[in-house]
Structure 1
Amino acid sequence: MSSSITPTTGHEAGTPGTVGGVVGAPSAARAAQLVRRADGGADSAPVEAVSPFTGLLTATLPQATDADARRVFAEARAAQAAWAARPVSERAKVLRRVYEKILKRQDEILDLVQVEAGKARIDAFDEVSAAALVAGHYGKHSARLLAPKRVSGLIPFLTRARELRHPKGVVGVITPWNYPVALTAMDVFPALVAGNTVVQKPDNQTALSALWLHELAEEAGLPAGVWRVVPGRGSRIGDAFAEESDYLCFTGSTPTGKDLATKIAHRLTGYSLELGGKNPMVVLPDAPVAKAAAGAVTACFSSAGQLCVSVERLYVHESIREEFTEAFVAKTKALRLGAELSYSADVGSLTTQGQLESVSAHVEDAREKGAEVLAGGRPRPDIGPLFYEPTVLTGVTEDITLFAEETFGPVVSIYGYHDVEDAIERANSGEYGLNASVWGRDTAAASAVAARLKAGTVNVNEGYAATFGTVGLPMGGMKESGFGRRNGAEGLLKYTEAQAVAVQRGMRLRPARAVSPRLWTRALTAGIRLLNRLPR
């Protein structure tokens, strides 16, 4: 299936019967059906979302007020006890059915993600695979991870100790526009299987994709009212999420994350934040140049660079820098830009006008201050209103804005280095620590470098997909790139409260009246020493 477009601007109606005026896209009636799944809508000013491919209308979204959001939280709280009372195995079955539905119905969501987010289809598939992997992983492992755990008691055979896990209650989830299916799945699915109800605020730009996944979950057996989707402006309903959530999961900018954390702090409730990144790749002197260059292209330009874990800094050893740069630039220039609902394009569009303006400003600032553009460096309105060429820069100095500031677009800078210690220090510089990549033939040496990088995830001979796709691994940021983790055991257990229960039998844990405290404490001291020698 393929579709070509004519670049246009404005919010006028698109091709009859389609979303966003893109031929082959889901129908306007289908979009309206998804919009009806949203909660709230008393705000008098709805939002018109447009397709990055065409600038044409994709959906008119009702916006919730603060009162709407608080009402939905109250209703979700009322529904939580019944959902938590179901066995974990039953809740996990819902996720396993969702897993099957995502894979079976992927063509529809691929179209929808492309139209809403402007992605190339291969990048849209990353969302399909990530969502399916998350549903499958927690559908398979949650019963084990949430099961009561026996712990060695204080006194063997006489102290029976267990760790129990209880759901937090109502989890608030705020998801961004750049990965509307994958990030919804990563945050919502483990919260649900842990026995919580969820209230989600998707970004208006890609709300249809989140609502599509919500529809699949209810078709798979999730009771109505357990997961609520509330589109709205952050300025109107952000306080409700901070004040009503028993746990809040946020993905977005570092300043907004800090603001939310400040508001949550006085309530003593939990939160996790995935925030900004300025992710480095270190290419070691023994790296296979062709493979490293190809890997860097994927790491830098997937989803047009609008991926929290994409690479924006390349540190290449001087012994191979010229060869690497030549190969990397050639591969970058060969990338195909396109707005088709097919696999014919390598790189899609930026998603919003604001992103286009930000990327353009970063590149122009670099040019004006002496950086050299080796590839790209310009918008492509002939393809679509928000397209920007994959861009490679060299000669980027500290006075240039994008040296340390996240661009969040298809722009990367190449730097040389002579000493690996220097490369590690420079890769670790700055306020962010989300993702990193290391390339080298000697994987043991590359792994040793990886372990010294201050990033929540580090990939060896890969850009980001190895850690991103391994759902059993925790994913999150160090420094100002975030707090807490998604995926792995921690990505499930963070949505629970740990409770310790111990049953004491036989021997009392205080001396009997006839036994002197001195004799008791001496006996207990000997017992403690003995316990430390026993296998646990």
Structure 2
Amino acid sequence: MSSTVSVDAVVDRALLDRLTDRVVARPRAERVATVAPFSGTPLAEVPLSTTDDVAAAFAASRDAAHWWAARPIAERARIIGHIHDLVLDRRAEIADLVQAEAGKARRDAFEEVADVALAARYVSVRGPRVLRERRRLGLAPGLTRAIEGHRPKGVVGVISPWNYPLTLAISDCLPAFVAGNAVVHKPDSQAMLTALLARSIAIEAGLPEALWQIVSGDGPVIGGAIVEHADYVSFTGSTATGRVIAARLGERLVGASLELGGKNPMLVLDDADLDRAAEAAVRACFSNAGQLCMSMERLYVAASVREPFLERFLGRVESMRVGAAFDYSCDMGSLMSQAQLDKVRAHIDDAVAKGARVLTGGQARPDLGPWFHEPTVLDSVRPGMLAADLETFGPVVSVYPVGSDDEAVELANDTPFGLNASVWTSNLRRGVDVARRLRSGIVNVNEGYTAAWGSHDLPIGGMGASGLGRRHGREGILRYTEPQAIAVQRAHNLAPLNGMSYDTFTDLFTKSLRVLRRTGRA
């Protein structure tokens, strides 16, 4: 399948011009071209923001945040619900732009649409419940009324990457909005158009324009300016950049959630359903051409089933349809850029030069487009190889035989990363037992990543070098708030009554504490 597919046939250039005009940038700002990965041709020209533009965006957002926080939470949630409906209504248009901008297969683009709908539904339904004030246990039963509340942070800085331009653009903004915050957002330059389309849909749903400001430009400069101004930062990207952001925010005592890199393991135990595991491994390893922080890059397979598993897995990999198409005729699309292709080639070439074997794939596919690469499976990969030690972030997975569950767990945990893992077994209790032993913020049993990621009531995030904080779930909403404790004391002060000595008061207080302990009251 050639790359003669026309991006112009599916993308409205007038729409792109309208979208890029919504970037916060000075008039006649310098512009940078974004590129369509399917063809390597220019897609749009995006104006570049300056640090002054970032400051202006924060000033406008801060004004908007004050009156937005004062609006009833039910009203804020209702707007998020409307976003859900519009995203589904316009799913074809959105998927077209996601593909044009990110070069992914149609099924991967729809996955983003579905995920945003799931996120919007969860936030709109659960947000008001999570954020409502709650009674807590007070000091003196009947005398102390304790209330837990949550107040918005103010203006949240969101810095999102290029690999999932829709999901990672809007899904971290929605809980910030329902919690009463404004957002200043810097998408990656290669993901700017989808983010701007998401913003326009949110405004159509009723979100005030000033509440979501989008800036563009160089990561260290414009991203750095966001870090300097934000009341909280949500960042998805590399571990190295995450460490820099965490250090700079620490100087200001400002919080952050950071989802960073991964070197995710999939464990195929000796009693796994091999057909099902092989089918899921294809998705887990090669969705979005492996450009997924939760993608599997290490397959630990019980030695007793290694050969039958590989027969099934390699057959499915070799039958994958790789190419550029704005329909569902392809299983895998392009890498995002020449830099990503170069990294993939470096990892494969280094591994082969040091003794690894290519079981299938291993070649770039310039006949399909400038940055296409075959899905690749490696064997005999050892520590000291780039493919063993570093995140590839491409369509490359290494297979390792293991002799026991204990060995699989030990090898899976032998990494500084801890984002996602997968365990395959016919015994669900065994699978959960193994999952609990893995040093990973997310573990899927008999799935690769979608079961946990799509369960929006679960907190999602990494351990170790894979980040800190959580998105999704109750935690993903409350991260954008400051908890506030309110205690109301009734009747009289917590002090001796008139005429009572402190000796008598302390004796009575001590007896009360013992009674509370015996009755099991916290």
TM-score by length of 1: 0.95
Distance 1:511 1:429 in 2: 59
1:117 has 2:102 as partner: yes
CA deviations on 1:287-330 (whole Å, 9 max, x unpaired) are 01111111111100000000000100000000000111111111
3-state SS of paired residue (2:287): helix
- After TM superposition, the structure 1 = structure 2 runs for residues 139-178 of structure 1, keeping only pairs within 5 Å, are 139-178=124-163
1:106 has 2:91 as partner: yes
Amino acid at match of 2:72: P
CA deviations on 1:333-353 (whole Å, 9 max, x unpaired) are 000001010000000100111
1:480 has 2:478 as partner: no
Amino acid at match of 1:382: D
Distance 1:176 1:480 in 2: 17
Distance 1:162 1:130 in 2: 34
Amino acid at match of 1:216: I
- After TM superposition, the structure 1 = structure 2 runs for residues 161-240 of structure 1, keeping only pairs within 5 Å, are 161-240=146-225
CA deviations on 1:165-216 (whole Å, 9 max, x unpaired) are 1000000000000011111222100001100000000111011111111001
Return the offset for 1:401: 1.0
Instruction: Work out which of the residue numbers 45, 50, 53 in structure 2 matches 1:65.
Output: 50
Instruction: Work out which of the residue numbers 276, 279, 304 in structure 2 matches 1:291.
Output: 276
Return the offset for 1:39: 1.1
Return the offset for 1:71: 1.2
Return the offset for 1:239: 2.2
Aligned twin of 2:291: 306
Instruction: Work out which of the residue numbers 393, 403, 413 in structure 1 matches 2:388.
Output: 403
Distance 1:43 1:439 in 2: 55
Amino acid at match of 1:415: Y
- After TM superposition, the structure 1 = structure 2 runs for residues 455-534 of structure 1, keeping only pairs within 5 Å, are 455-532=440-517, 533-534=519-520
Decide whether aligned partners of structure 1 residues 387 and 54 sit closer, same or farther in structure 2, where only a CA change above 3 A counts: same
CA contact (8 A) 1:476 1:482 kept: yes
CA deviations on 1:92-141 (whole Å, 9 max, x unpaired) are 00000000000110000100011100100001111001101000100011
Aligned twin of 1:15: none
Decide whether aligned partners of structure 1 residues 238 and 320 sit closer, same or farther in structure 2, where only a CA change above 3 A counts: same
Return the offset for 1:44: 5.2
- After TM superposition, the structure 1 = structure 2 runs for residues 328-347 of structure 1, keeping only pairs within 5 Å, are 328-347=313-332
CA contact (8 A) 2:3 2:323 kept: no
3-state SS of paired residue (2:394): coil
Two-structure CA RMSD over aligned residues (Å): 1.3
Distance 2:284 2:222 in 1: 35
User: Please, which moves more after superposition, 385-394 or 23-32?
Assistant: 23-32
Return the offset for 1:55: 0.7
Distance 2:143 2:28 in 1: 61
Amino acid at match of 1:322: E
3-state SS of paired residue (1:212): helix
Residues matched between the structures, number: 521
Return the offset for 1:43: 8.6
Decide whether aligned partners of structure 1 residues 534 and 417 sit closer, same or farther in structure 2, where only a CA change above 3 A counts: closer
Return the offset for 1:46: 1.8
Aligned twin of 2:266: 281
Distance 1:408 1:337 in 2: 17
Gaps of 5+ in 2: none
Aligned twin of 1:381: 366
CA contact (8 A) 1:123 1:302 kept: yes
Aligned twin of 2:71: 86
Instruction: Work out which of the residue numbers 32, 36, 58 in structure 2 matches 1:51.
Output: 36
1:419 has 2:404 as partner: yes
Aligned twin of 1:361: 346
1:253 has 2:238 as partner: yes
1:437 has 2:422 as partner: yes
Distance 1:352 1:206 in 2: 12
Amino acid at match of 2:469: G
Distance 2:384 2:257 in 1: 33
Distance 1:307 1:439 in 2: 20
Return the offset for 1:60: 0.3
CA contact (8 A) 2:2 2:368 kept: no
3-state SS of paired residue (1:423): helix
CA deviations on 1:7-40 (whole Å, 9 max, x unpaired) are 9xxxxxxxxxxxxx42532121111111112112
CA contact (8 A) 1:471 1:488 kept: yes
Amino acid at match of 2:4: T
CA deviations on 1:30-75 (whole Å, 9 max, x unpaired) are 1111111211246954211110000111110001111111111111
Distance 2:105 2:26 in 1: 32
Amino acid at match of 2:244: D
Distance 1:71 1:22 in 2: 34
Distance 2:342 2:336 in 1: 11
Q: What stretches of structure 1 move > 6 A for 4+ residues in a row?
A: none
Gaps of 5+ in 1: 8-20
User: Please, which moves more after superposition, 327-336 or 228-237?
Assistant: 228-237
Decide whether aligned partners of structure 1 residues 268 and 369 sit closer, same or farther in structure 2, where only a CA change above 3 A counts: same
Return the offset for 1:507: 3.8
1:316 has 2:301 as partner: yes
Return the offset for 1:534: 4.8
Percent sequence identity is 49
CA contact (8 A) 1:24 1:341 kept: no
Return the offset for 1:434: 0.4
Amino acid at match of 2:205: A
Distance 2:255 2:220 in 1: 21
Decide whether aligned partners of structure 1 residues 41 and 316 sit closer, same or farther in structure 2, where only a CA change above 3 A counts: farther
Distance 2:470 2:272 in 1: 31
CA contact (8 A) 1:122 1:346 kept: yes
CA contact (8 A) 1:55 1:385 kept: yes
3-state SS of paired residue (2:14): helix
CA contact (8 A) 1:199 1:230 kept: yes
3-state SS of paired residue (1:187): coil
CA contact (8 A) 1:42 1:68 kept: no
Return the offset for 1:535: 5.2
CA contact (8 A) 1:42 1:63 kept: no
CA contact (8 A) 1:43 1:65 kept: no
Distance 1:287 1:71 in 2: 56
